[in-house]
Structure 1
Amino acid sequence: MQITISGHHVEITDAIQDVVEKKLQKISNHYPSLLAIEATLTVEKKNQTIELHTNYEGAPISVTATDMEMYKAIASSVKKLESALSHRKGVLNSDLHTRRVDAQVEVAAPDNDDADLAEESMMHHEEGMDYESQRAS
């Protein structure tokens, strides 16, 4: 797996590069179809931010984590990335669009009793409408 690490307002030290690569290597063991991950580290005032971008099975996945310490931000972003990859893997495994419904719906023929009830119901409905029209005037 190819890991690209870049910094914005921060120098990428060997220690930071080792930590990022080590943590992302664990993810690549769980998801061998990952080909590349781009990591961008940013420092703004007291906030340390890391953004991770990758493509997994045709879907772009991006996560961002911010913390006062860079190493905590790295750990948090890797955890978020693993969660996002797990979610995407679940979506792919669910096969929502290939499910078939084999249930057959049976329609019962109306009985004479049902027809009488329907007719009686219709008469009561019409009487109620007459009552409403009288009440409105």
Structure 2
Amino acid sequence: MNLKISGHHLELTPALREYVITKLDRVLRHFDQVIDGNVVLSVDNHREKEKRQKAEINLHLKGKDIFIESCDADMYAAIDLMVDKLDRQVIKHKDKIQGHAHESVKYRGEPQELEAPSP
């Protein structure tokens, strides 16, 4: 998997980079058909009283693109929220792909025609 991690208005330290990589390993355990991912960690300084830390990921899977974003006062908490949401979405996508809720067309019987009542 190709993973690109970048920071916006934030210095991306090796500790943050390593934290994101170890958290994303949990997602890769569930689903190994991940093509690439783009993680953006940013800080919004719109309000002077509080700084809003935001973590975003755009994950390109086989057959689907998933975009998740989360915000918190702490960057590590924002990353945790993002990974939790991403994990749920990836598991949902995997279940949808591997779900055997529908019978195969091969094993279905011939369609039965309904007779129209005579007037």
Say whether the fold is shared (TM-score over 0.5).
Answer: yes
Structure (1 or 2) with the greater strand fraction: 2
Q: Note if 1:104 corresponds to 2:112.
A: yes
Amino acid at match of 2:75: M
Q: Write the letter of the residue equivalent to 1:85.
A: V
Inter-CA distance 4–108: structure 2 relative to 1 (3 Å threshold): closer
The residue type equivalent to 1:9 in the other structure is H
CA deviations 1:38-57 (Å, max 9, x no partner) are 10001012100011011112
Rounded Cα–Cα distance in structure 2 between residues aligned with 1:9 and 1:77: 19
Give secondary structure in 2 for the equivalent of 1:35: strand
2:12 alignment partner AA: I
TM-score normalised per structure 1: 0.69
CA, structure 1 residues 30+94, in 2 after alignment: closer, same or farther (shift >3 Å)?
closer
State the 4+ residue runs in structure 1 displaced beyond 2 angstroms.
93-110
Shift of 1:6: 0.3
**TM-aligned CA distance change 1:97 to 1:59, over 3 Å:** farther
Paired-residue identity, %? 29
Give the aligned partner of residue 16 of structure 1. 16
TM-align CA RMSD: 2.6
2:55 is matched with 50
Give, in angstroms, the shift of residue 104 of structure 1: 3.2
Aligned ranges 1:81-96 → 2 under 5 Å = 81-94=86-99
Measured in 1, the distance between the counterparts of 2:10 and 2:117 equals: 77
TM-score under structure 2 length normalisation = 0.78
Q: Work out the CA distance in 2 between the residues paired with 1:67 and 1:13.
A: 18
Query: Which of 1 and 2 has higher RCO (CA within 8 Å, sep 6+)?
Result: 2
Larger radius of gyration: 1
Aligned counterpart in structure 2 of residue 69 of structure 1, from 60, 69, 74: 74
Give 1 or 2: higher helix fraction: 1
Q: How far, CA to CA, are the matches of 1:23 and 1:79 in structure 2?
A: 9
Q: Is the 8 Å Cα contact of residues 37 and 59 (structure 2) preserved in structure 1? A: yes
Structure 1's unaligned 5+ residue stretches are 111-117, 119-137
**Residue in 1 that maps onto 2:48:** none
